[in-house]
Structure 1
Amino acid sequence: MRICLVRHGQSLWQLAPSRDWDTRLSDLGHRQAAALATWWAEHELLDATTRLDVGVLSASPLKRAQETAGHLADALHLPVTTSPALTEATFHVASELPQWSGPAVPRTPGTLSERYRTFRKQAAEALLELADTAREKDATVLAVTHGGFIKTVMRVISDSDSFTCKLYNCGINMIEWKDGRWRIVHLNLLDHLPPPLRTS
């Protein structure tokens, strides 16, 4: 069972942060999403062994995710299912995470903030919903969502709230449930984006 989590294309907010965090894609964001959609439609294999066989396309209700999903829907001939559970956090997630005492010295985490625990629960429940859908449809689920959400899913499956990474716009992140555990198959796969189109 496989789930692909894709971060939306570059948004206008990334170019000029404002109080309106639900902004549309920038021109570059549309180019990124179009490149992703074209590449996905033309490739039967994500890599040498992984079939794409996307059967369900889901997206956060926020504009940048909906517009990115629209490009994929046109290319893959799939309807978009909108899922509020895929929505981004309304706060800077990284600032809520436990820090380490040194590069190889984990610190015993203190109490996590209520809003982070609520968002982590949202991500965990959304992951279960995506997994149930993938199992029922016997197909890969492709979810267009947000950086904070994707990284929190990775924290859930790794059971580590200190995990973080840089995620690129329209990067492909694939996880797989196999032998009773989650496995990260791809993190930030960017084969479909030439360097001039890569932003984070």
Structure 2
Amino acid sequence: MLILIRHGQAEWQLKRDCNLNSSLTELGQAQAVSLGQFIQKGEHPLAVTIRDTPIVHTSPLLRAKQTADALAKANGFELSVIDELAEAPFDLTESLPRQARMVDCETYNLVCQQYTAFCDGLSVALMHLLASHKGKPIVAITHGGVIKTILRLLLNRHSVNFTIKNASITALSWESGIWQIHDISWSEHLSQKMKSV
């Protein structure tokens, strides 16, 4: 199983003019603590899978590392930093290819070199993680753009976008030659007032 966790709310999300490597907001810190407690309780299959994973991979960016630290503090995880799990330093949505029709099975070329390079780096990191874990669950704390791009890569559809909530869980597994998507942006462990995008 591949479990992708988005970091808690970051300062950058509230003030787009601040440092891209910003820290968690007060809400983001609370989201991370809540997620850590949810995993620790183990009352949901996702929590059990995450809790039983000895190593959690994280982006090197501060907001992801702070989220990872909160989860490690509650659950005793070993953390591993993977540079390729960092958020893209450009607007991913603006870089996505556009389709002429709403339903279009035609192939298209990725025209933005930045986006193509970002996809290539994520593909390499994903293949490395999958090979190194040999069928065991993989847990990674990363960013909304990374999770969306991994979903686009697995679906081989780049003209699609997703909403990924802060401190949410996206879970997939490779079964009988296909990717099974179990949850996208699952955030039932957070109260309504703690949810943010």
Question: Structure 1 residues 51, 12: CA separation in 2 closer, same or farther (over 3 Å shift)?
Answer: closer
Which residue in 1 is equivalent to 2:34?
35
Deviation digits for residues 106-165 of structure 1 (CA, Å, limit 9, x no counterpart): 675344211111000111111112212321xx5322100011111110011101111211
Conserved in 1, the CA contact under 8 Å of 2:3 and 2:140? yes
- Residues of 1 paired with 2:8 and 2:153: CA distance? 24
Query: Matched residues in 2 for 1:162 and 1:102: separation?
Result: 11
Whether 1:143 aligns to 2:140 is: yes
Q: Is residue 3–residue 142 contact of structure 1 (8 Å, CA) maintained in 2?
A: yes
SS at match of 2:54: strand
Aligned to 1:12: 11
Aligned partners of 1:107, 1:99: CA distance in 2, in Å? 12
TM-score, normalised with respect to structure 2: 0.92
Instruction: Kindly report which structure 2 residues correspond to 1:28-177, keeping only aligned pairs within 5 A, or say none.
Output: 28-43=27-42, 45-46=44-45, 51-52=49-50, 53-105=52-104, 109-135=108-134, 139-177=136-174
* Count of residues in correspondence between the two structures: 195
Distance 1:139 1:41, change over 3 A: farther
1:31-71 CA distance string (max 9 Å, x none): 00000110011115426xx8443232010000000000001
Q: Is residue 2:188 matched to residue 1:191?
A: yes
CA RMSD of aligned residues (A): 1.8
1:85-110, Cα deviation, whole Å (9 max, x unpaired): 11110000111111233433467534
8 Å Cα contact 2:54-2:78 kept in structure 1: no
**In structure 2, what residue type is equivalent to 1:104?**
V
Amino acid at match of 1:175: L
Letter in 2 for 1:151: K
- Cα separation, 2, equivalents of 1:175 and 1:194: 24
**Sequence identity percentage:** 29
- Closer, same or farther in 2 for the Cα pair 1:177/1:105, shift >3 Å? closer
Q: TM-score, normalised by structure 1?
A: 0.90
Moved more, 115-124 or 95-104: 95-104
- C-alpha change, 1:9 and 1:117, in structure 2 (3 Å) is same
Secondary structure at 1:54 match in 2: coil
Q: Please list every run of 5 or more consecutive structure 1 residues that lacks an aligned counterpart in the other structure.
A: none
Q: Give 3-state SS (helix, strand or coil) of 1:162's partner.
A: coil
Tell me if structure 2 keeps the 8 A contact 1:56–1:139: no
> Aligned residue for 2:177?
180
Residue type of the alignment partner of 2:194: L
Report how far residue 81 of structure 1 moved: 0.5
**Cα distance between partner residues in 1 of 2:109 and 2:82:** 32
The 8 Å contact of residues 8 and 166 in structure 2, kept in 1 or not, is answered as yes
After superposition, the Cα gap between the structure-2 partners of 1:44 and 1:134, relative to the gap in structure 1 and judged at 3 Å, is: farther
